[in-house]
A = this chain, B = another copy of it.
Amino acid sequence: MTDDSQMPSLTTAQNDAMHVAEALCSDRGERLTPARRRVLELLLQAEGPIKAYDLLELLKPGPGAAKPPTVYRALDFLMELGLAHKIEALNAYVSCAHCHDSGGAEIFICTQCDGVEERHGASHSSCAPDGFTIQRSVVEHFGVCARCAA
């Protein structure tokens, strides 16, 4: 029996993601506290983008019924570490499987199945106005994924 035994039904991939998160926190000297861990689990288990107040509902059954600041603090923490992203156009959140340092995530959301895929590295500086230095980008594409188009 591992010390992940208190987690409810995480898939292998989700379990792996938790371990990556633990390692990342350890590296950075940050603490993956129970509240933060629980929110990350819920993000990993979600089938697509999930809203803060839906997370809040999912946290209700637990020992301490969470209040909004708890969820938003956990989300802020996870986003700082690059373990989660906010989809601005939806006011919703997703876990990030890429564990990149901040910057450069390009998100594709299928409007039929709510599936989210992420890509990195495309530079947008070539389109920028002359002399404009990009510090942070929000790139969110909505459409139909290959599976749903079939």
Residues on A lying within 8 angstroms of B by beta carbon are 88-89, 106, 108, 110-111, 117, 119, 122, 124, 126-147, 149
Contact = CB atoms under 8 A, between A and B. Distances in A.
- Give this chain's copy count: 2
Given A128-B141, A129-B146, A138-B141, 13 more contacts: A89-B138, A108-B132, A108-B134, A119-B129, A122-B127, A124-B139, A134-B141, A134-B143, A135-B142, A135-B143, A136-B141, A139-B139, A139-B140
11 contacts: A88-B88, A89-B138, A108-B128, A110-B132, A119-B129, A122-B127, A134-B142, A135-B143, A136-B141, A136-B143, A138-B138
A98 to B, nearest CB: 13
Contacts of A134: 108, 141-143
Given A89-B88, A89-B138, A138-B89, A132 B124 contact: no
A88 B142 CA distance: 14
B146 A132 contact: yes
Contacts of A141: 124, 128, 132, 134, 136-138
A111 B138 CA distance: 14
Given A88-B88, A135-B142, A119 B108 contact: no
A140 B138 contact: yes
